[in-house]
């Protein structure tokens, strides 16, 4: 009996060790649009990211920069038990308009090893720190939080005739694996942000990550034609690389400002992502070695749950990942089947809908981003791995996914909300309030004598409130206390959130 017990114990230990080794050989790649991570130099093209608004009130300050980085780090620490993703394709960091001394990631971390990001953006703030680009400040935040030690490549914009970057934003790729900087390239575009091509050495295997941020306006044909350039440049580079090595392991990641099924969703003559780039839902075709296409990982996700951003009450899929046929063979690196996920962690989404909590510079900053991160896993090739349950193009089954709202379970009561002027209470910002209000003729809400704007993202207020607007009759409502362009407002997400007394 004792021998049997020792045998079973040995077998169990071997199984655990194998499982641990197997899990440790899977790596995570995340792409995340952090929604305008600007630096702390006080120079910004966008009004929302200047230190003071037009009335002279504090706007995007160094305190906001610290909050924004802390929140980005909180999201990234959800991967690999707090160590962060193995590779990160970060999108929408500010192009530096006041570049100081250029430092490598390693030199920067060594220089500021004896201080913290909090000190740097607090009492220790000076001109030298103000000159630091946002990607280094983020790197310091990740280092302070105990994440991997990352290398990075930066998709810097060309400099214009005026000596300033041609694009407001850039992409940055962080990797805990060595980056081959000699092979890494920046593909510059006309009137569009460059594409960053980063070569990463993963345990002796080459992984090529293309980090993208295409022109915005997914539903605009005019913008779609500008995105054609992004797709043409990227497709030409893929063809060049795959002609040399058809089995090369490639991941396309970032904010494509297109939906994964752009050609089905919009009646465009030609789409950048599907018709030019060759993004496909036919996984088997790509897995069998057809290099004219890349497999879009959204097809690995349940069709009714596809969405990482919202616009006008509907889910979109602007953040995307696509992989080459080399990610399916038994050499180099492999995609871990069905490992594609979107990063809804609860704290970065609203409880009523799952909608991303977008960033706001109000007070010292709150929220995260208007996009959720998306991720995939890969591994050094397992020759025993078999791919059989292939996803297929299911565009004909797709229907627009409307945001669905449920009443908030946690909210601030009217008594709490009106005890002091709520406009001075940072803890109330972007939180749900349950209160009574009268409705003005302009459909504003008056609560405890203060008039607030009302924004209804998914319905028209007059369909619910036309009979009481401009009267003394009260309504009960649930509203998220927010601010837009300096004006305080309630965001009322559903007609079910209003009841006429």
Using alpha carbons, select from 290, 255, 272, 262 the residue that is nearest to residue 390.
Answer: 290
- Which regions of the chain carry the CATH code 2.40.50? 412-500
- Asked whether 193 and 213 are in contact (CB, 8 A), the reply is yes
Per-residue pLDDT at 56: 85
Higher pLDDT, 25 or 210: 210
What share of the chain has pLDDT > 90, as a percent? 88
3-class secondary structure, 16: helix
Higher pLDDT, 4 or 257: 257
Q: 279-335: per-residue pLDDT in tens?
A: 999 999 999 999 999 999 999 999 999 999 999 889 999 999 999 999 999 999 999
Per-residue pLDDT at 23: 47
pLDDT at 443 over 80: yes
Indicate the range of 23-27, 161-165, 437-441 predicted with least confidence. Answer: 23-27
Rounded average pLDDT over 364-387: 94
- The band of 448, judged by pLDDT with boundaries at 50, 70 and 90, is very high
Per-residue pLDDT at 384: 84
Indicate the range of 156-160, 322-326, 445-449 predicted with least confidence. Answer: 156-160
d(CA 196, CA 89): 9
* Phi, psi (deg, nearest 5) at residue 11: -65, -40
Q: 3-38: per-residue pLDDT in tens?
A: 444 444 444 444 343 333 444 589 999 999 999 999
Per-residue pLDDT at 2: 46
* Residue 119, both tokens: 């000190």
Per-residue pLDDT at 24: 54
Per-residue pLDDT at 170: 97
**DSSP tag of 166:** S
* Residue 279, both tokens: 């993004």
Per-residue pLDDT at 3: 47
- Which regions of the chain carry the CATH code 3.60.10.10? 23-159+166-397
**DSSP tag of 487:** E
Q: Report helix, strand and coil shares of the chain as percent, to nearest 5.
A: 30, 25, 45
Q: 34-52: per-residue pLDDT in tens?
A: 999 999 999 999 999 999 9
d(CA 73, CA 144): 10
> Which CATH number is associated with domain 412-500?
2.40.50
Q: Which residue has the tokens 């500021």?
A: 112
Per-residue pLDDT at 15: 39
Rounded average pLDDT over 166-173: 97
CA distances from 165 to 155, 199, 224, 226, 441 (A): 11, 24, 23, 19, 47
Q: 450-455 and 445-447: which strand pairing?
A: antiparallel
* Mean pLDDT estimate for the chain: 94
The sign of the dihedral angle between the CA atoms of 307, 310, 314, 316 is: negative
d(CA 189, CA 45): 20
pLDDT at 209 over 50: yes
> Which CATH number is associated with domain 23-159+166-397?
3.60.10.10
Q: 58-117: per-residue pLDDT in tens?
A: 899 999 999 999 999 999 999 999 999 999 999 999 999 988 778 899 999 999 999 999
| Helix boundaries (H) for 205-270 | 221-244, 262-265
pLDDT at 367 over 90: yes
* Residue 248, both tokens: 């090369």
Per-residue pLDDT at 57: 86
| Helix boundaries (H) for 373-445 | 414-418
- Asked whether 281 and 393 are in contact (CB, 8 A), the reply is yes
d(CA 363, CA 60): 9
Contacts of 20 (CB under 8 A, 6+ apart): none
d(CA 401, CA 194): 31
Per-residue pLDDT at 6: 44
Q: What is the pTM of this model?
A: 0.93
**DSSP tag of 276:** I
Helices 134-144 and 62-76, interaxial angle, to 10°? 60
């Amino acid at each position: 009996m004792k021998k049997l017990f020792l045998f079973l114990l040995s077998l169990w230990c071997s199984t655990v060790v194998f499982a641990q080794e197997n899990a440790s050989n899977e790596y995570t790649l995340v792409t995340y649009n952090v929604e305008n991570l600007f630096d702390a130099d006080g120079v910004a093209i966008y009004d929302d990211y200047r230190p003071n608004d037009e009335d002279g009130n504090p706007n995007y300050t160094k305190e906001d920069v610290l909050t924004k980085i802390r929140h980005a780090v909180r999201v990234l620490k959800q991967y690999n038990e707090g160590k962060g993703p193995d590779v990160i394709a970060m999108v929408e960091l500010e192009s530096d308009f006041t570049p100081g001394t250029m430092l490598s990631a390693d030199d920067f971390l060594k220089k500021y090893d004896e201080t913290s990001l909090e000190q740097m953006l607090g009492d220790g703030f000076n001109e030298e720190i103000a000159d630091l680009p946002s990607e280094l400040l983020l790197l310091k935040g990740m280092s302070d939080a105990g994440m991997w030690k990352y290398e990075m490549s930066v998709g810097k914009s060309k400099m214009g005739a005026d000596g300033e970057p041609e694009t407001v934003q850039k992409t940055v790729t962080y990797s805990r694996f060595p980056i081959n900087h000699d092979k890494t390239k920046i593909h510059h575009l006309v009137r569009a942000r460059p594409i960053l091509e980063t070569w990463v050495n993963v345990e002796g295997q080459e992984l090529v990550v293309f980090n993208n941020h295409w022109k915005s306006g997914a539903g605009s044909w005019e913008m779609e034609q500008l995105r054609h350039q992004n797709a043409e440049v990227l497709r030409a580079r893929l063809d060049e690389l795959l002609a040399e090595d058809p089995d090369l392991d490639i991941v396309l990641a970032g904010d494509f400002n297109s939906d994964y099924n752009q050609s089905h969703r919009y009646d465009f003559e030609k789409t950048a992502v599907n018709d030019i780039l060759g993004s496909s839902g036919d996984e088997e075709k790509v897995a069998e070695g057809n290099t004219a296409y890349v497999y879009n990982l959204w097809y690995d996700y349940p069709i009714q749950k596809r969405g990482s951003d919202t616009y006008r009450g509907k889910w979109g899929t602007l953040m995307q990942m696509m992989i080459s046929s080399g990610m399916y063979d038994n050499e180099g690196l492999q995609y871990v089947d069905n490992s594609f996920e979107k990063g809804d962690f609860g704290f970065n989404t609203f409880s009523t809908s799952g909608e991303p909590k977008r960033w706001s510079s109000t007070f010292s900053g709150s929220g995260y981003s208007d996009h959720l991160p998306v991720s995939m896993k890969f591994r050094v090739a397992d020759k025993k791995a078999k791919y059989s349950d292939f996803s297929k193009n299911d565009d004909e089954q797709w229907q627009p996914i409307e945001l669905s709202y449920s009443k908030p379970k946690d909210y601030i009561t009217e008594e709490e909300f009106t005890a002091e002027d709520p406009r001075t209470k940072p803890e109330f910002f972007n939180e749900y309030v349950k209160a009574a209000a009268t409705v003005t003729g302009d459909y504003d809400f008056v609560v405890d004598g203060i008039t607030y704007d009302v924004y209804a993202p998914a319905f028209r207020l007059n369909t619910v409130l036309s009979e009481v607007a401009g009267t003394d009759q009260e309504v009960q409502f649930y509203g998220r206390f927010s601010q837009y362009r300096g004006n305080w407002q309630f965001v009322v997400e559903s007609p079910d959130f209003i009841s006429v007394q």
